[in-house]
Amino acid sequence: MNTKEIVDCAMGRIKSDIVLLNGQLVNVYTKEIIEADIAISKDRIVHVGKNTNDLIGENTRVIDIEESIICPGLIESHVHIESSMLTLSRFTEAIVPHGTTTAVIDPHELANVAGMEGLEILVNEARNSPISYLIELPSCVPSLPGFETPGSTIDSEQVKQLIIRDEFFALAEMMNYPGVFLGLEEVMTKIDATKKAGKIIEGHAPLLKEKELQAYVAAGISSDHEATTFEEVLEKLRLGMKLQVREGSFAKDLGNILQNLDESKIDTRNILIASDDRNPIDLIEKGHLNYTYRKMVQLGMNPIEAIQMMTLNTATHLGLEKEIGGIAPGKRADIIVVNNLEEFNIKMVFAKGEVLFENGKLAFPIQEKKFPDFILDTLSKLEVPTIEKLMIKVNSQNYVNVRVIGVSEHSLITEKLEAELQVQDTFVIPDIENDILPVVVLNRHTKEEKIGKGFVKGLGLKHGAIASTVAHDSHQLICTGSNYELMLKAIEALKESHGGLVVVTIDNITILPLKFAGIMSTGKIEDVVRLNKELNNALNTLNPAISESFMALAFLALPVIPHLKITDHGLIDVDAFEKVNPIIEE
């Protein structure tokens, strides 16, 4: 709407489309609850007060919300939608019932697999979405150049070209924080290009502090979602950073941080909320930011302050305060109606002035998306290898000492272990009794046959194999198991399903297909959750030693987290940043 039109609507010269009567408005600007009616014309709020009489015409939909709470649509400040295993449209269907009307997404995983071609698909989906997606340009693709076969590379030259495009809202989390404080040219170029484009640079700076943190902030990086303690939060807030307190499916920092926040009496305007990742089961069973809100209030936080952290504070950080983050005349009509501030049950969701959710149901048309063929078979270049190619061959000996990746519960950090293994017919034999399992990573991004091989301890799988094409960040195919035959079956199954997660037992193959780039399903969240549960049931028949075997497996391949990892290039000693031989030479 141009200004004339919106003014005419506000004055009642043009009647409103929708009027909500008798609301209790969460005023995030003043931190009050006030009585208000809301008038909506097209995608805009045109009145917030008690003078809507003149605005109601015969075609106005008038809804008496009977003292329900009116709240700005919730804004997700940082999420990788890939962890939901859903495409953008399916993700939208999943989060709208929870009151999210804007989400800042970093499509880092998709970019690692499918590069700009993949991102274009996302950009197109976002453009037609009933809610708002702010798509960030991934800053670190691949995470560690030279140590794996990347699905794609976005270098500083490409960042220069891409960051000026309207579709890219910001430069996504700058994970290469050493590259920042060391002043590496490639990193500096990406940052300078983003600043020149007038866009924000999001951060990722776990445990960074003192001089290095100051350099990171001085570089112009404005946010962080990696702080896990209040002390870390406070140091970063004091430097003017926007602090995204994270409550995801994996990392749950809220409790730790909120505990001390209230006592501190500090200004909370620079605190935002981020999910970072949300798995499909949590999304359907717990919710999204509405779940986080409830948890915050249970932890004793002031409800309006909690809402500010997922609305106004985020909008201000994003430079979108004129558009979203609060309910005021002229702002976009992104509004949720909830029963009360304790239960926070979502009754209605409006985005861009449209009703998207009411009476417990989605109210927008769901279209089956057509995707280009290439994105639905990103394993096409992978040839299933012979079983011998999965095995490690040595010169004739009876025993060898090998390097072993040590996995433990609830940690992405692995240990560097060693073990003595038998050799038979020049092949190294895993020691299942002692939980020394083979693990392989297969290149699926190019035609070049590349198989990284090693051993892992801690997963405890005894009678089966698991494999996944979700393997951070390049998302090659990673596989482990109690014997090579079952592992080969797992690899074959993923090749056939065009990617996904699979559990292979002696009798059964249970698969969660993830056709879209090998990391996301094209199905609905209900189907993904059902298949996910079946997969978990199958996994449990293998008596795994840890609770999140697939999560642990996925992160075995990420060579930027200490200490020993594996890519399609082989074992990587992350501390030394060098490739190492699984066999320890005497």
Q: How far apart are CA 346 and CA 510, in angstroms?
A: 35
Determine if 259 is a binding residue for a copy of itself (CB under 8 A).
no
Q: How many CB atoms lie within 10 A of CB 567?
A: 27
Q: Is the CA virtual torsion 300, 302, 303, 305 positive or negative?
A: negative
Q: Which is nearer to a copy of itself, 9 or 487 (CB)?
A: 9
Q: Which is nearer to a copy of itself, 127 or 196 (CB)?
A: 196
Q: Which is nearer to a copy of itself, 41 or 482 (CB)?
A: 41
Determine if 102 is a binding residue for a copy of itself (CB under 8 A).
no
Please choose, out of 83-91, 316-324, 412-420, 481-489, the segment that lies near a copy of itself by the rule CB under 8 A: 316-324
| Interactions with a copy of itself, residue window 39-68 (CB under 8 A) | 44-49, 51, 54
Determine if 263 is a binding residue for a copy of itself (CB under 8 A).
no
C-beta of residue 462 within 8 angstroms of C-beta of residue 482: yes
Each residue 124-163 as x (binds a copy of itself by CB under 8 A) or -, in order, gives ----------------------------------------
Which one among 43, 192, 262, 358 touches a copy of itself, defined by CB under 8 A?
192
Q: Which is nearer to a copy of itself, 188 or 362 (CB)?
A: 188
Three-state DSSP state, 496? helix
Q: Which is nearer to a copy of itself, 53 or 424 (CB)?
A: 53
Closest approach of Cβ 188 to a copy of itself, in Å?
Answer: 5
**Which residue has tokens 């951060």?**
203
Report the candidate in 476, 462, 449, 467 with the shortest Cα–Cα distance to residue 386.
449
Determine if 328 is a binding residue for a copy of itself (CB under 8 A).
yes
| Interactions with a copy of itself, residue window 277-296 (CB under 8 A) | none
Q: Which is nearer to a copy of itself, 258 or 557 (CB)?
A: 258
Which one among 255, 300, 319, 372 touches a copy of itself, defined by CB under 8 A?
319
Q: How many residues contact a copy of itself, by CB under 8 A?
A: 63
Which one among 57, 178, 183, 300 touches a copy of itself, defined by CB under 8 A?
183
Closest approach of Cβ 12 to a copy of itself, in Å?
Answer: 7
Please choose, out of 126-134, 212-220, 433-441, 523-531, the segment that lies near a copy of itself by the rule CB under 8 A: 212-220
Which string of DSSP letters, residue by residue, matches 475-486? T-EEEEESSHHH
Which one among 133, 181, 291, 555 touches a copy of itself, defined by CB under 8 A?
181
Contacts of residue 396, defined as CB under 8 A and 6 or more positions apart, other chains included, come to 423, 426
C-beta of residue 555 within 8 angstroms of C-beta of residue 548: no
**Which residue has tokens 């859903």?**
86
Which one among 43, 228, 330, 546 touches a copy of itself, defined by CB under 8 A?
330
Strands 477-481 vs 464-468: parallel, antiparallel or unpaired:
antiparallel
Determine if 394 is a binding residue for a copy of itself (CB under 8 A).
no
Edge-first strand listing for the sheet containing 242-246: 223-224, 242-246, 271-274
Determine if 322 is a binding residue for a copy of itself (CB under 8 A).
yes
Which string of DSSP letters, residue by residue, matches 535-574? HHHHHHTT--SSS-HHHHHHHHT-TTSSSEEEETTEEEET
Which one among 21, 33, 34, 394 touches a copy of itself, defined by CB under 8 A?
34
Question: Which residues, listed in sequence order, are joined to residue 572 by a DSSP beta bridge?
Answer: 565, 579
Which one among 15, 42, 160, 195 touches a copy of itself, defined by CB under 8 A?
195
Q: How far apart are CA 282 and CA 248, in angstroms?
A: 9
Which one among 120, 212, 358, 492 touches a copy of itself, defined by CB under 8 A?
212
Angle between helix 108-127 and 88-95 (nearest 10): 80
- CA dihedral in degrees (53, 59, 60, 61; nearest 10)? 140
| Interactions with a copy of itself, residue window 13-32 (CB under 8 A) | 13, 27-32
Three-state DSSP state, 232? helix
Closest approach of Cβ 161 to a copy of itself, in Å?
Answer: 18
| Interactions with a copy of itself, residue window 221-250 (CB under 8 A) | 222, 234, 237-240
Report the candidate in 95, 97, 131, 130 with the shortest Cα–Cα distance to residue 360.
97
Determine if 75 is a binding residue for a copy of itself (CB under 8 A).
no
Q: How far apart are CA 478 and CA 499, in angstroms?
A: 11
Single-letter residue type at 311: T
Please choose, out of 74-82, 142-150, 328-336, 564-572, the segment that lies near a copy of itself by the rule CB under 8 A: 328-336
Which one among 58, 59, 166, 185 touches a copy of itself, defined by CB under 8 A?
185
Closest approach of Cβ 289 to a copy of itself, in Å?
Answer: 20
What's the angle, vertex CA 551, arms to CA 548 and CA 556, rounded to 5?
A: 125
Please choose, out of 89-97, 215-223, 461-469, 497-505, the segment that lies near a copy of itself by the rule CB under 8 A: 215-223
Closest approach of Cβ 207 to a copy of itself, in Å?
Answer: 16
| Burial per residue of 246-275, b for 16 or more beta-carbon CB atoms within 10 angstroms, e otherwise | bbbbbbebbeebbeebeeeebebebbbbbb
Can you give 76-130 as a three-state secondary structure string?
EEEECHHHHCECHHHHHHHHHHHCEEEEEECCHHHHHHHHHHHHHHHHHHHHCCC
Determine if 565 is a binding residue for a copy of itself (CB under 8 A).
no
Q: Which is nearer to a copy of itself, 51 or 426 (CB)?
A: 51
Chain residues binding a copy of itself by CB under 8 A are 2-4, 6-13, 27-32, 34, 44-49, 51, 54, 180-181, 183, 185, 188, 191-192, 195, 210-212, 214-215, 217-220, 222, 234, 237-240, 265-267, 269-270, 308, 316, 319, 322, 326, 328-331
